Amino acid sequence: MSDLGAALDVVGARWALRIVERLLDGPQRYGDLQRDLGVPTNMLATRLRELEAAGVLSRLPLRHNTRAYALTERGLALHDAIEALGRWGAEGT
């Protein structure tokens, strides 16, 4: 499979890149992502599980039953690709 195909297998799902983009601003909690992105809660849960399994992000426990999601090194490496896509989207009028 091509390199692009490999990338899309990990972050090609509907909300994956939007979640990662949000996390580029620093660790976020579940509820924050949900409100900021307007993503359905079951999709958010599923994507977070997959992205964690793929090594893109990690959970870091905060107080009691709250935690935050933070990008790993591999997740941060998506910065360039997301920025490039964002620039392209911005050019589209």
Partner DNA sequence: ACGCCACACTTGCATTTTGCAAGTGTGGCG
Partner DNA sequence: CGCCACACTTGCAAAATGCAAGTGTGGCGT
* 84 belongs to the binding site for a copy of itself (CB under 8 A): yes
User: Pattern 15-54, binding to a copy of itself, x per CB under 8 A?
Assistant: --xx--x---------------------------------
CB of 90 to DNA, least distance (A): 22
Stretch that binds a copy of itself, among 14-22, 27-35, 45-53, 61-69 (CB under 8 A): 14-22
**Angle at the Cα of 49 (from 6 to 56), degrees rounded to 5?**
50
**82 phi-psi bin (left φ>0, alpha ψ -120 to 50, beta other):** alpha
70 binds, among DNA, a copy of itself, none (CB under 5 to 8 A by kind): none
CA atoms of 71 and 28, how far apart (whole Å): 10
CA atoms of 75 and 9, how far apart (whole Å): 14
CA atoms of 23 and 57, how far apart (whole Å): 9
Under the rule (CB under 8 A), what is the footprint of a copy of itself? 2-8, 10, 12, 14, 17-18, 21, 74, 77-78, 80-92
